[in-house]
Amino acid sequence: MKEGFRQAMAWLHTWAGLIFGWLLFAIFLTGTLAYFKDEISHWMQPEIPARSLSSEASLTLAQHYLEQHAAGASRWLIDLPDAREPGLSVRWQQAPAKPGTRGQFTEKRLDPQTGAEVQGRDTRGGEFFYRFHFQLQMPYPWGRWLSTIAAMVMFVALISGIITHKKIFKDFFTFRPRKGQRSWLDGHNAVGVLVLPFHLMITYSSLVIFMSMVMPASILAAYKGDVEAFYDEVFPASNTPDMAGKPGQLAPLAPLLERASELWSGGRTGSLTVNNPGDANASVILARDGADRVVHDFGSAVTFNGVTGQLLSATPKQALPMAIAGSFYGLHMGHFAGSVLRWLYFMCGLAGTAMIGTGLVIWLGKRQLKHAKSGVMPFELRLVEVLNIASLSGLMVAVAVFFWANRLLPVAMAGRADWEVNSFFIVWGLSVLHAMVRRGRAAWVEQLALTALLFCALPLLNALTTPYHLGVTLMQGDWAMAGFDLTCLGSGLFFAWTAWKMQRAGQAGIATRPRAKPMLLEQEAH
């Protein structure tokens, strides 16, 4: 009975991993890259310089700029810079032309030290990977549903994998190199066990984040189908007074940062909203930065009178259920993590990606061995091979091309950000065609070699197209820009080594099997 149950779990683990493996690989990889989305965005907008930061000084500069350029606006929005996001972003909304209409928004980026306008190139930056991670470049809500279903399958695959392996912890300490399928299985087990707590946390927390979408029945029952009433109660709106219709002088905004920090027991302000800045009843809403602690406090904000500085309201303390949900959200996103912990998140994410990739390779390799003597590969195995190559190595090529497009596309090009994304998907699609034309190991080696070349050459491309090469960024201490270049160089060397090892393994196989027949599609054998 026990063995029968374990065999059932093995079957479930295998097929859950295979059917959703290619999608899960893309979700894990882009999610892993998203841990450094701010640093990626900084590299992809080199025009925005990295500066030593002072929130108070930056806010004062933003206020002076808005008073000069947006005095008649109905609302100001200010996003403060931090150590990871160097740019100071200001937006304003014009008063609506007609009642019931929405006023036009204008956005500008400022130098947080001088207050001068900075024109960065149009790009999605690291935000592309973050959005793709849970939306899959699909219309709302279909992408979120698909990624959530994939997370459910991943959770099932993890649990079934734990049950399947009787000697899971013993296998963790076992690795037999140069043993073909045995080595792949040992690697799969090792990375799976090494970061198993991370895998369980990241997968389960993703389900918690979308629990209101996946399990809406309790909300619908408690609020009689009025979902908006639920969100109004969970995220209460700030108490903002109506316009007085009389002119008023906006008080300095910088002192409000310290007052808000005291109310939050040391918490940091991430953004400000100024309503009716030229009115006697102007109000200032300070929203807490979600990166100052593990438990993410959804909608935490304090509201002040913009003229007198009087405290008007503060969002109530989180209820226990929301605090629990916020802790899962904070753990999943990793916004609280410093540089060392963020790198640990990144390495664990790569381990999860490797676990999925090795699982796909193991499934195919095991079944290819059964057809090695006949030299005939059934269509379904050939299909899996193509999907493996395009989903693993092809995705890596697409990521590298996305960065290349950022440097090669004209800065003033219309729709530039969209074409960066288009280049990603075009190259990813071409990798499928290449895998269909070039069989097996040749396709792997060629795509991995191309990935290695593209990543290794990225620092050189950056040096040729911008003044912010490694010699400059290392001297200036711009570790986000320099770290990106160095990471690309290291990644390129790793992929070059992988391509070389795969090429050598193929040559060794040919030497030991000189008379082996070429693998053919089953249809071609007739």
**By percentage, how much of the chain surpasses pLDDT 90?**
52
For position 507, what pLDDT does the model report? 65
Q: 60 pLDDT exceeds 90? A: yes
Q: 521 pLDDT exceeds 60? A: no
Q: Are 20 and 153 in contact (CB under 8 A)?
A: yes
Q: 324 pLDDT exceeds 70? A: yes
**Mean pLDDT score, 517-523:** 40
Amino acid at 486: L
Q: Between 265 and 430, name the one with better pLDDT.
A: 430
For position 300, what pLDDT does the model report? 86
Pairing of strands 520-521, 376-377: parallel
How does residue 524 score in pLDDT terms, banded at 50, 70 and 90?
very low
Q: Per-residue DSSP letters for 331-388?
A: HHH-TT--HHHHHHHHHHHHHHHHHHHHHHHHHHHHHHHHTTTTTEE-HHHHHHHHHH
> What is the torsion angle, in degrees rounded to the nearest 10, for the CA atoms of residue 196, residue 323, residue 254 and residue 284?
130
Highest mean pLDDT, choosing among 236-245, 297-306, 364-373: 297-306
Side-chain half-sphere exposure of 163, counting CA atoms within 13 A:
19
The model's pTM? 0.90
Matching residue, tokens 């070349």: 453
Distance CA 260, CA 439 (A): 62
Q: How many helices (H) and strands (E) does the chain have?
A: 20, 9
Distance CA 437, CA 102 (A): 53
Q: 218 pLDDT exceeds 80? A: yes
Distance CA 182, CA 453 (A): 30
23-27, 184-188, 334-338, 387-391: least confident range:
184-188
For position 523, what pLDDT does the model report? 39
**Mean pLDDT score, 166-177:** 63
User: How many CB atoms are located within 10 Å of the residue 393 CB?
Assistant: 27
**By percentage, how much of the chain surpasses pLDDT 70?**
89
Which helix (H) or strand (E) is 28 found in, with range? helix 2-34
Distance CA 136, CA 129 (A): 9
Q: Mean pLDDT score of the chain, rounded to an integer?
A: 86
Give 88's strand partners: 110
**Mean pLDDT score, 163-191:** 67
For position 372, what pLDDT does the model report? 66
Question: pLDDT, tens digit, for every residue of 347-357?
Answer: 999 999 999 99
User: How many CB atoms are located within 10 Å of the residue 321 CB?
Assistant: 9
For position 525, what pLDDT does the model report? 36
Q: 515 pLDDT exceeds 60? A: no
For position 333, what pLDDT does the model report? 93
For position 429, what pLDDT does the model report? 96
Question: pLDDT, tens digit, for every residue of 184-205?
Answer: 677 777 777 788 899 999 999 9
Q: 116 pLDDT exceeds 60? A: yes
**Mean pLDDT score, 144-156:** 95
User: How many CB atoms are located within 10 Å of the residue 124 CB?
Assistant: 22
**Mean pLDDT score, 154-177:** 76
For position 522, what pLDDT does the model report? 38
Strand order of the β-sheet with 88-93 is 105-110, 88-93, 75-79, 269-275, 283-288, 301-305, 311-314
How does residue 163 score in pLDDT terms, banded at 50, 70 and 90?
confident
**Mean pLDDT score, 94-117:** 79
Q: Between 206 and 505, name the one with better pLDDT.
A: 206
Highest mean pLDDT, choosing among 129-133, 288-292, 498-502, 515-519: 129-133
Nearest to 274 by CA among 68, 55, 76: 76
Q: 19 pLDDT exceeds 60? A: yes
What ranges do the domains of the chain cover?
1-45+123-201+339-370, 55-122+237-315
Q: Between 291 and 410, name the one with better pLDDT.
A: 410
For residue 292, what is the DSSP state?
G
For position 179, what pLDDT does the model report? 59
69-73, 243-247, 251-255: least confident range:
243-247
